[in-house]
Amino acid sequence: MIIVTGANGKLGRGVIEQLLKRIPAEQIGVSVREVSKAQDLKDRGVRVRHGDFSDAGSLLDAFEGASQVLLVSSGILGEAGIRQHETAIHAAKKSGADRVLYTSHMGSSSTSYFPPMIHHAATETLLKESGIPYTSLRNGFYASSLVGLIGEAITTGEWIVPEDGPIAWTTHADLAEATAALLTGQGWDGPSPNLTAAEATDMKGVAAMLSDIVGRPIHPKVVSDEAYREYLVAQGFPEPRIAITLGLFRASRNGDFEQTSNALADLIGRPPMKLRDFLQESLPV
């Protein structure tokens, strides 16, 4: 049985939908914190059980009979999040799973300017040390994150950003399809190749796309990191979010998110969705 954690989230639910196209529902199980939100999956024959990364006992029950476990990153940073992942890895091993797949990131690094990458690197170390066969999915940067960064720029025509570098923006839908393909076929041991869209684009390139989509100029205004911090404070961003947002730009200009590969296209059997097409679908224009 393939067990998917976080199946009420965007990526986890996308993986489940793709798995249902490939294998019978009775071969799929989900581990979710809120069982009621997965009732539709239960109605379709998927095994639904409560599982909480902070509760090893609940995970052992949710992972019962697992051949593979897809560990979707909890999104909780720092030591608390790493401990949660450690609990989940140990539960998967104890349950007898043959392999754990983990939703890591193309920029995974213990020295990254972008805090989530340190979190991913620590989890990859835990997987390696656990002794269980694993695959860390080096996913491209979620394109949905870009929508939040754009904010009111499509209305004001001015997009305030610090200096940046190219990012291989990649959609949840494409990554979900690729993950399902890996769960039901051959994969890699250890870190995967970068699972990214075909090209990396900087904010100047994104602004050009936005201008074309909305039919009027969107001008990126490049400011210092400190000025950008002040801008985010004025927007009401809490300090942890400011650190993450600034870290994204610092890491991008360090080249951490610009490397692409054909691995994603090979897995899904077609070119990944282009960023412009994603923005066209996602922005309120």
For residue 262, the 8-state DSSP code is: S
Buried-state track 62-87, b at ≥16 Cβ within 10 A, e below 16: bbeebebbbbbbbeebeeebbebbbb
Helix (H) or strand (E) holding 55: none
CA 270, CA 78: separation in Å to the nearest integer?
37
Cα–Cα distance measured from residue 262 to residue 272, given in angstroms and rounded to the nearest whole number: 9
For 208-267, what is each residue's pLDDT tens digit? 999 999 999 999 999 999 999 999 999 899 999 999 999 999 999 999 999 999 999 999
Dihedral sign, CA of 138, 21, 6, 185? negative
Please answer whether residues 70 and 3 qualify as being in contact, where contact means their C-beta atoms are separated by less than 8 angstroms. yes
Instruction: Report residue 48 as tokens.
Output: 């639904």
- Over residues 18-39, the pLDDT tens digits come to 999 999 999 999 999 999 999 9
C-alpha span between 62 and 95 (Å, rounded): 9
pTM: 0.95
Query: In this structure, how many other beta carbons lie within 10 angstroms of the beta carbon of residue 271?
Result: 12
User: For the chain, what is the mean pLDDT?
Assistant: 95
The H-assigned helical ranges of the chain are 10-20, 39-43, 56-62, 78-94, 115-130, 144-150, 153-156, 172-183, 203-214, 225-234, 239-253, 263-268, 275-282
> Residue 75: which residues within 8 A CB-CB, separation 6 or more?
81
Q: In the prediction, which pLDDT does 284 show?
A: 74
Task: Tell me what pLDDT residue 75 has.
Answer: 81
Q: What is the pLDDT of residue 283?
A: 86
The second-level CATH assignment, the architecture, of 2-140+171-196+260-272 is 3-Layer(aba) Sandwich (3.40)
